[in-house]
Structure 1
Amino acid sequence: MSQRIKQFIFLCLMVLCAFATPASAEGIKIKSFELERVDNDWLLNASFQIELSPGLEDAVKKGVVLYFQTEFDLTRSRWYWFDEKPIVAQRQTRLSYQPLTQQFRIASEGFTFSAKTISEALQAVGSIGGWDVIDNNQLDPSKLYTAGFRMNLDLSKLPKPFQVNALNNRDWNVSSDWIRFPLQPNGPSLIKR
């Protein structure tokens, strides 16, 4: 084999390796969660690690408001039809930047918080505490359910020009994977990971 062919093969392998390795660690990852029964309710506490791409961080600093949506659902498998979803809950958290005070503002369900840095703001967005997701009266104690939740950037709330950009740019599609786990209504009162 000639020297040119070897160089060409080496170059092709280097290009393939560059595309095979992830370029960045942006996205949303679930760090921990617990689902706890308190009296007649199930409360979700969760912690997400959120990392935005430089383009998204820049957009926030220039005034684009980001809406993060946390979704929770409870399903029960049925052999004769589609799975039953007795409970579907959603919660939105709003992240914005205030140029006059040079602070990030987080708002969710009547709760507001200000942060000086984007990392503090994303940590606040990724912290969910005491979210009432299930009323135990809605569940059949003899059945087994599957609970699941995730967090994602709600692209439908972006201004229209950014929605078009999000369709063409993977950096704007920020989402965690679904976490699914079994739930027995009369089982343990604390599920933790």
Structure 2
Amino acid sequence: MTQCIKQFTLCILMLLSLFSASVSAEGIKLKSADLERADSDWLLNATFQIELTPGLEDAVQKGVVLFFQTEFDLTRSRWYWFDEKPVLAQRLTRLSYQPMTQQYRIASEGFTFSAKTMFEALQAVGSIGGWKVIDSNQVDQSKSYTAALRMTLDLSKLPKPFQVNALNNRDWNVTSDWVRITFLPNGPNLIKR
């Protein structure tokens, strides 16, 4: 009898570990990002890995438009006053499904893309290239700053009935962690690889 209980407990633990691994796979994770200098500006190139829950994928298939907000900020610590925030940049990317063409549409900053699969669509949403985030007159070349980057699913842009559901459902709270690095205007600035 005790052998049977041990086997049952082992099976339950294995199932729970598989379930927790599948749950933790969903969300947004920063895969790589770097800041490159172009003339007097700094451009951000980043790649996020986005994995939606089955409920969110189903909502998109049924016509709910999802908005992903990418946030970048630059701060400089000051011991004598509040931190200086010379840069706060936000970018909104829209993901929708078109049932007539059976394609996903991704729109961001005046550009529109189409994708045949959800995987391709999420790759397009998570790819940021050449986004101007810093103008050289916003930073002092001799100072050190902290650059921070994250991407979230913007729940405030959902239709009102879905906003109520999203507040009560963890599956709808999709966000990446803030990733912070030291930014030196005169040095290489790799955020993550």
Same fold? TM cut 0.5? yes
Which residue matches 1:174? 174
Which residue matches 1:140? 140
CA distance in 2, matches of 1:14, 1:102: 40
Structure 2 stretches lacking a partner, 5+ long: none
Matches within 5 A, 1:11-30: 11=9, 14=12, 18=16, 21-24=20-23, 25-30=25-30
Matched, 1:63 2:67: no
Q: Give the count of matched residue pairs.
A: 190
**Superposition misfits of 4+ residues, deviation over 6 angstroms:** none
Change (3 A) 1:168 1:12: farther
CA distance in 2, matches of 1:123, 1:23: 19
Matches within 5 A, 1:153-164: 153-164=153-164
Q: How far has the Cα of 1:18 moved from its partner?
A: 2.1
Change (3 A) 1:21 1:54: closer
Amino acid at match of 2:63: G
Q: How far has the Cα of 1:21 moved from its partner?
A: 3.2
Matched, 1:191 2:190: yes
RMSD (Å) for aligned C-alpha atoms:
2.3
CA distance in 2, matches of 1:191, 1:18: 37
CA distance in 2, matches of 1:147, 1:56: 30
Structure 1 stretches lacking a partner, 5+ long: none
Q: How far has the Cα of 1:139 moved from its partner?
A: 0.7
Deviations 1:135-156 (A, max 9, x none): 0111112211000111110000
Which residue matches 1:38? 38
Q: How far has the Cα of 1:15 moved from its partner?
A: 6.4
Deviations 1:143-183 (A, max 9, x none): 11000111110000001111111111111000111111101
CA distance in 2, matches of 1:22, 1:170: 16
CA distance in 2, matches of 1:7, 1:191: 52
Change (3 A) 1:156 1:143: same
SS in 2 for 1:21: helix
CA distance in 1, matches of 2:78, 2:58: 47
Q: How far has the Cα of 1:14 moved from its partner?
A: 3.9
Q: How far has the Cα of 1:111 moved from its partner?
A: 0.3
Q: How far has the Cα of 1:187 moved from its partner?
A: 2.4
CA distance in 2, matches of 1:126, 1:150: 11
Which residue matches 2:89? 89
Matched, 1:102 2:102: yes
CA distance in 1, matches of 2:164, 2:68: 18
Deviations 1:19-61 (A, max 9, x none): 7934421101111111111110000000111100000000000
TM, length-normalised to structure 1: 0.89
